[in-house]
Chain A
Amino acid sequence: MPIVVRHLSHVYMPGTPMAVPALHDVSFEIADGESVGLIGPTGSGKSTLVQHLNGLIRPRPGTVFVDGQDVGDRRTDLRRLRRTVGLVFQYPEYQLFEETVYDDVAFGPRSMGLDADEVDRRVRRAMALMGLDVEALAKRSPFELSGGQRRRVAIAGVLALGCSKLILDEPTAGLDPAGRRDLLRLLARLNREGMTVLLVTHDMDDLAEVARRVLVLSEGRLVADAPVRELFSRHRALLQGHRLDVPVAVRILYALRERGADVRLDRIGIDEVAEEILRWWRATRGPADGRAASGPTSTSQERSRTHGHRRDRPRPVRPR
């Protein structure tokens, strides 16, 4: 069942001279199995928002429903909620503490009082989901692993709680390119297998690789909610107005377009951008292939390319 946020506002230290408004009338829904990016400049309220989604902050005013449970209701079992919504903080590997990888991943399910068989089943599954070889790594100390592996162990520990929704705050920060690529690939796979993923980031390239829909937060307000291709191809000015920009690869298309090249802008990732440039290049100079470059940019024809089994629901972007 979905995550439903309605008219959520939040003020830190309300009623004092130190009061800081952090969220202002934020509303959105995230359906099961969606992969959503939450972006915004530093201080835009991203962390405050996600802390509401697993009950670390009680919504007031406004409501947050997760799987039909009202997070603001005192009777809601927050421990159960936190098993449904896994929250992976920045640099989660700093919280690893057990002597072996296995024990670290098993910590959550054990503290839930599950029997050893169930714990074992969960640890194996969570490690497999994070691309970690159980046989090779279970008995190793987490501190012997690479930075990228340590982070995946920490995420596996959250998955072992049995969550159906995973929120990750800047999951690739500090990873090297190979570690980053591995993790993004695993998150995309996790989502294909049914996990709802909310990726909090200011890295547009990460976003382009994992998310299909993007929420843009700025100064505590939701300023855009759109499919990722639509956001990048049609709302660059809005992003720039909020200290953000399209991914570097997409900037190449914009720059070509400014010089009059008939390239489409709704391409994401290096492969698609290269393919689009190639199409334009051949259309304008290929002697064998004289067809003119195709018409105006539009996202509608692209929908079939973007995982047709999921609903990339187009939504109006709400300017501030």
Chain B
Amino acid sequence: MPSDPLIEVDRITYRYAAGGEAPAVVALNEVSLRIRPGELVAVVGRNGSGKSTLARHLNGLLLPDEGRVVVDGIDTRDTARLWEIRRRVGMIFQNPDNQLVATTVEEDVAFGPENLGVAPDEIDRRVTWALEAVGMTAYRRHPPHRLSGGQKQRVAIAGVLAMQPLCIVADEPTSMLDPRGRAEVMETLLDLRRRLGMAVVLITQQMGEAVLADRVVVMDRGRIVLEGPPRTVFQRAAGLEALGLDLPVAVAVAERLRQAGVPVDPGVITVEELVEWLCPSSSAT
């Protein structure tokens, strides 16, 4: 084993009542997954594929009906240790407006550690560090409601960072943001992995975000149907479309070019790579 997993999801099944007399819906069906330290894992899949349900199992927001989830050695069913789990795995959600609670940015970031009873000096240090990590130091005393969507999400990420987690689970954190906000949040998440070695699990509908991950997990009907580095996953163009997913734009363009006889390297998955393949910078015409 290369390194001990931070989170081990072991054959979990989760059902929820459909309402009325309808049979229960199987949202997760014997799903197994390992998240290793410092890894950025993107989870993609159509609506209802189970990706958000999976995300909510990673910090004990949901508990599996069968199988188990172990976070840094702690089984999430051990409800007495729930807060230890939540401290290790922080979550960011879609809507930036629902996640900020305080009247200034710094109070908001301090909220989590205050609840944990962290000493004031230490809280101050953590707030400073967390705001620095997401590039929001200049907004420390601003009221959160005056920030842009992307800035709000970065403050929400700082709030999670102040808990000093080992992993951040972000459930479609960019879906309600404008393009600049999306780019800011993605850059922040990539930076956390790069600079702090933090594990990040990113649930997303944006294939352009998934190509930036170390590993892509494709879900469909409660199961993991494809898993691997983005380069491997996104080469399976036909298969992905059948799973209701878009191809990353560069992959879709490359695919059409190949069909027309241009031998674009199948390893090309980003815009930069496609441009470099078509028109190498060393021999630009």
Would you call B205 and A259 a contact (CB within 8 A)? no
Say whether A2 faces chain B, with CB atoms less than 8 Å apart. Answer: no
6 residue pairs, one from A and one from B, having the closest CB atoms: A274-B256, A177-B246, A243-B180, A178-B244, A176-B46, A202-B178
Could you tell me which B residues sit within 8 Å of A by CB distance?
Answer: 19, 45-48, 94, 148-149, 172, 175-181, 205, 207-208, 244-246, 249-250, 252-253, 256-257, 260, 262, 271-272, 274-275, 278-279, 281, 284-285
Which residues on B sit within 8 Å (CB–CB) of A146? 47-48
Tell me the complex Cα distance, A146–B279, Å: 43
Question: Is A42 close to B, CB under 8 A?
Answer: yes
Known contacts A143-B19, A204-B179, A243-B178; decide if A273 and B253 are in contact (CB<8 Å).
yes
> Within 8 Å of chain B (Cβ to Cβ): is A316?
no
Is A67 part of the contact surface with B, judged by Cβ < 8 Å?
no
B253 near A270: Cβ-Cβ < 8 Å:
yes
Q: Are B274 and A252 in contact (CB under 8 A)?
A: yes
Residue of B nearest to A39 (CB): B178
Is A179's CB under 8 angstroms from B47's CB? yes
A interface, over-half SS: helix
CA distance A248 to B48 in the complex (A): 27
- Asked whether, in the complex, the Cβ of A281 is within 8 Å of the Cβ of B257, the reply is yes
Partner of A277, one of B177, B249, B271, B278: B278
Asked if B47 contacts A175 (CB within 8 A), the reply is yes
Q: Is A251 an interface residue when CB atoms closer than 8 A count as contact?
A: yes
Tell whether, in the assembled complex, residue A277 and residue B253 are in contact, meaning their CB atoms are under 8 Å apart: yes
* Complex: A274 Cα to B180 Cα, angstroms: 26
Could you say which of A173, A204, A255, A271 contacts B275, with CB atoms under 8 Å apart? A255
Q: Given the interface contacts A274-B253, A274-B257, A284-B285, does A41 sit within 8 Å of B176 by beta carbon?
A: no
Q: Mark A178-189, 1 if CB is under 8 A from B, else 0.
A: 110100000000
The smallest C-beta distance from B201 to any residue of chain A, in angstroms, reads 18
- 17 further contact pairs, Cβ within 8 A, besides A247-B249, A277-B262: A41-B178, A41-B180, A146-B48, A174-B47, A176-B244, A177-B205, A177-B244, A181-B246, A249-B249, A249-B253, A252-B274, A252-B275, A255-B272, A256-B279, A261-B279, A270-B252, A274-B252
CB-CB contacts of A217-240 with B at 8 A, as 1s and 0s?
Answer: 000000000000000000000000
Q: Which residues does chain B contribute within 8 Å of A181, judged by CB atoms?
A: 246
Q: Would you call A31 an interface residue if the criterion is a C-beta within 8 Å of the partner chain's C-beta atoms?
A: no
B284 to chain A: which residues have CB within 8 Å?
259-260
Q: How far is the CB of B120 from chain A (nearest CB, A)?
A: 33
Q: In the complex, which of the residues A147, A173, A270 contacts B47, with contact meaning CB atoms closer than 8 Å? A: A147
Given contacts A147-B47, A274-B257, contact A256 B275 (CB under 8 A): yes
Which chain A residues lie closer than 8 Å to B149 at the CB level?
Answer: 42
Chain B residues near A278: list those with CB within 8 A. Answer: 256-257, 260, 262
Instruction: Tell me whether B279 and A42 are in contact (CB under 8 A).
Output: no
Query: Contacts A243-B179, A252-B253 hold; do A259 and B279 have CB atoms under 8 A apart?
Result: yes
Chain A residues closer than 8 Å to B179, beta-carbon distance? 202, 204, 243-245
Q: Is the CB–CB distance between B279 and A271 below 8 Å? A: no
Q: Please provide the chain A residues from 252 to 288 with a CB less than 8 Å away from any CB of chain B in the complex.
A: 252, 255-256, 259-261, 270-271, 273-275, 277-278, 281, 284
List the B side residues contacting A277 at CB < 8 Å.
253, 257, 262, 278
CB distance from A46 to the nearest CB of B (A): 10
- A173 CA / B47 CA spacing, docked (Å): 12
Given contacts A176-B244, A270-B249, contact A251 B271 (CB under 8 A): yes
A residues 126-152 near B (Cβ < 8 Å) are 143, 146-148
Bound: A146/B49 CA distance, A:
11
How far, in whole Å, are A273 and B253 apart by their CA atoms in the complex?
Answer: 7
